[in-house]
Structure 1
Amino acid sequence: MLVLTLDQRGSRNGVDKIDGLLARLHANPASKRFVRDFERTAGDEVQGLLNHPDDAVDVVLDVVRAGDWWAGVGVGPVREPIPASVRAANGPAFINAREAVERAKNTPSRLAVVGPDPRTAAEAESLLALLSAVVQRRTGPGWEVVDLIRQGLPQKDIATDLKISPQAVSQRLRTALWQEERGARPLAARLLTQADQAAGAPASTSGRD
């Protein structure tokens, strides 16, 4: 399974942003598939339990977009039966998530992946770091079109909504590296799947883009 631990950056000197993050996570369409929903587990941390690697990729990149967070992905088994609250759950995946979020504080991408197979975890982390760089560098106009394209709107409708030409929509998508991100997301999920299978507890995939 996959445990995501998210730690607020600079929380000692800033505003508590946990409630806003939880609202963002709960609004994510993938939240319906979470094994255990995200909860505040410490003063400046939230944690969730997932079993779909593509959902984990989606959450990590959404958190990167939000900013202000370190993200640790822990891969491995979880002790069963799983309690109703993620705060009461434990197992190797939770230990790995703790190690990952601490290591994330020393990475430029602000994320890390830890699992029983260090090589596969490192490969997943490298690709997520590359995707996070794309997300972090995307401009407001780029996000306008990417958000609408992810909702399933045709480019001509996006052009109408934004009052720009279809050519401008295409240019924004190219500048935003949307096709590159879209193509790399399934590979990142596949690497997380392989990392989880190395733990002897295969994760399932949902088959989404």
Structure 2
Amino acid sequence: METSSKVIVIGGSWGGIQASVTILKGLPANYSIPIILVLHRLRNYDGNLQDVFKHKIALKAVEVEEKEMLLPGHVYLAPSNYHVLLENDHTFSLDDSELENYSRPSIDVTFTSVADVYAHNTVGVLLSGASKDGSSGLKHIFEKQGITIVQDPNEAEIETMPLAAIENVPGCTVMNLEQIQAFLLSLHDH
């Protein structure tokens, strides 16, 4: 089974669901790069995030399952109350260990894990949010020579997360949602 040479990992918190829908709705169903999406949500929240995306984007939105293989044309949603890790064989593992940055799933945990596997082929995108989760993971992606993108804090619903990332990763690229979408489209192998 062919695995993609690149992976996109997107993190967000407050305002992140709407921001990620805005970006992803512009990508085709046959998008050539798998996307992992880590959004903070309430731990006791039973709502199905898949339903939010299913009717708004062309990509197949699925909740991450243990040992599932990373495939193009998919958006993998971090399940509530689990950290999402990527193994060297490009399959997922779920972890219910301690909260990181008061969060599970933690964006930092996933960003770091993905960068350890994909190194410079990682594209990390950090969106709106009210915590500082994601900034150290984004720094790890940057240190592995991956691409690091932060939503323009002036556009973000809550600027805390983007501002923390910009401060922690001075080499990151700041873009608005339209620019992020255009950039991700430019990576697509037609």
Task: State the TM-score bracket (shorter-chain normalisation).
Answer: 0.3 to 0.5
Higher strand proportion, which one?
Answer: 2
TM-score (norm 1): 0.33
TM-score, normalised on structure 2? 0.35
